Structure 1
Amino acid sequence: MTTQFNIQAFIELALSRGVLKFGEFTLKSGRVSPYFFNAGLLSDGEALSVLADGYAAKLQQCEHVDVIFGPAYKGIPFVAATAVALSKNHAQSVPWGFNRKEAKDHGEGGVLVGASVAGKDVWIIDDVITAGTAIREVVTLLKQAGANIAGVLVALDRQECGQGKLSAIQEVQQELEIPVHALMTMQDLMAYLEQQGDQTALANMQAYRQRYGIDV
């Protein structure tokens, strides 16, 4: 059985769980955003399954998927659920792993847990790339373990500029020379609001995109 990712259904699920909110939110960058996305609130079986099904479906379109990897901490349940979704929905058993925040000094030791990444093409799975710092750290960790980074898969691309004209995702793609794919984008959120006829929220999103958005 194969499944396709339905963006509208996921947006509605995210809204129902408080994962996605429209309003006024001050980000770490100091910007006042008209929306906020917190994938950590996908904290029940149904919600996590929908996200994992989306990741699994997207990975079917990607090349060189030897191992999938979830950065601690949020990425750990995401990558585990995605491995299950790949097996159940796509008859594809993919090894998975994650990292510890602190190295273990007993037992098997180290910071990497799960499947070996040495000599493997690894896809990193996470929720968003905000500044790209966390992804760079994980990439360094994986490369030190002998992995080849095949790409990164996230839930949301905010499509806004970082320090320059590029977004954090574009900076990661350019600097690390790897593909970064997203299940949905800010444009998808705006299309949903337009479809729902929410002119106020849509106008706020358009103004924010006008000020901070990247060229797509």
Structure 2
Amino acid sequence: MKEYQREFIEFALANEVLRFGSFVLKSGRTSPYFFNAGLFNSGKSLNAIGRFYAAAFLDANFEYDVIFGPAYKGIPLVCATAMSLSSQHSIEAPFAFNRKEKKDHGEGGDIVGTPLSGKVVVVDDVITAGTAINESIGIIREKKGVLTGVLVAVDRAEIAPDGSGKSAIQAIQEANNIPIRAIITMDHIIEYMEEKGTYGDQLKMMKEYKAQYGINK
């Protein structure tokens, strides 16, 4: 685990974005942890999240001409990432996001920012069933862009309930032949808990959940 990943976990815990307990997911599974990126909801937290996304973005070594944040949660994330790449790393990062409804006056259209041409990397919060990212892929293709990667905050790295034996991220990677990267995975969270040595039963439940639902890498 790299230092920015450890710092991200600590930041998420301090802001109660990452919590341990018992949480029923949309899939019906009872998870021992929950990550709610919607709680990054202040200027201070957005500034920090931008730094973590930028670090992971550079770590992934994506090829890109523009980064795209799908509405709605991806909009502040792509803005924060682009700002951090510029201010912290002196790297130009043109960005864009979409409107849910097309605008038929003024500049019009459904894309705000840089045109989605050339190589496009999507920045979003999480991938669960894959519905949102597939919508983004459709938008990028419609604009004649080429998707070259996806960056999310957390990869739960667990098999989807569809019986495929793959995670949603694995399925999207294989279907589109693109890399999908995350700032952290469940393994990083478990590693952090082991390092601290204070989580006891919570760590035990995390390992049991991984053994039951984790993907075979």
Once the two structures are TM-superposed, the CA of residue 5 in structure 1 deviates from its matched residue by: 5.5
Q: Assess if the C-alpha contact under 8 Å between 1:5 and 1:57 holds in 2.
A: no
The DSSP-based 3-state class of the residue aligned with 1:6 is helix
The DSSP-based 3-state class of the residue aligned with 1:117 is coil
Once the two structures are TM-superposed, the CA of residue 195 in structure 1 deviates from its matched residue by: 1.6
Of 25, 35, 46 in structure 2, the residue corresponding to residue 37 of structure 1 is 35
**Structure-2 residue corresponding to 1:83:** 82
Q: Name the CA shift for 1:5/1:133 in 2 (closer, same or farther; >3 Å).
A: farther
Of 44, 47, 50 in structure 2, the residue corresponding to residue 49 of structure 1 is 47
**Structure-2 residue corresponding to 1:191:** 191
> Residues of 1 paired with 2:62 and 2:122: CA distance?
13
**Structure-2 residue corresponding to 1:111:** 110
Aligned-partner residue type, residue 32 of structure 1: T
The DSSP-based 3-state class of the residue aligned with 1:127 is coil
Of 119, 122, 135 in structure 2, the residue corresponding to residue 121 of structure 1 is 119
> Residues of 1 paired with 2:9 and 2:57: CA distance?
20
Unmatched tracts of structure 2, length 5 or more:
none
Once the two structures are TM-superposed, the CA of residue 184 in structure 1 deviates from its matched residue by: 0.3
List aligned pairs for 1:14-163, cutoff 5 A: 14-61=12-59, 62-118=61-117, 120-162=118-160, 163=162
TM-score with structure 2 setting the length: 0.94
Decide which moves more: 98-107 or 69-78: 98-107
Aligned-partner residue type, residue 114 of structure 2: A
Aligned-partner residue type, residue 121 of structure 1: K
Q: In percent, how many aligned pairs have the same letter?
A: 48
The runs of at least 4 consecutive aligned structure 1 residues that moved more than 3 Å come to: none
Deviations 1:158-182 (A, max 9, x none): 0000122110110110011111011
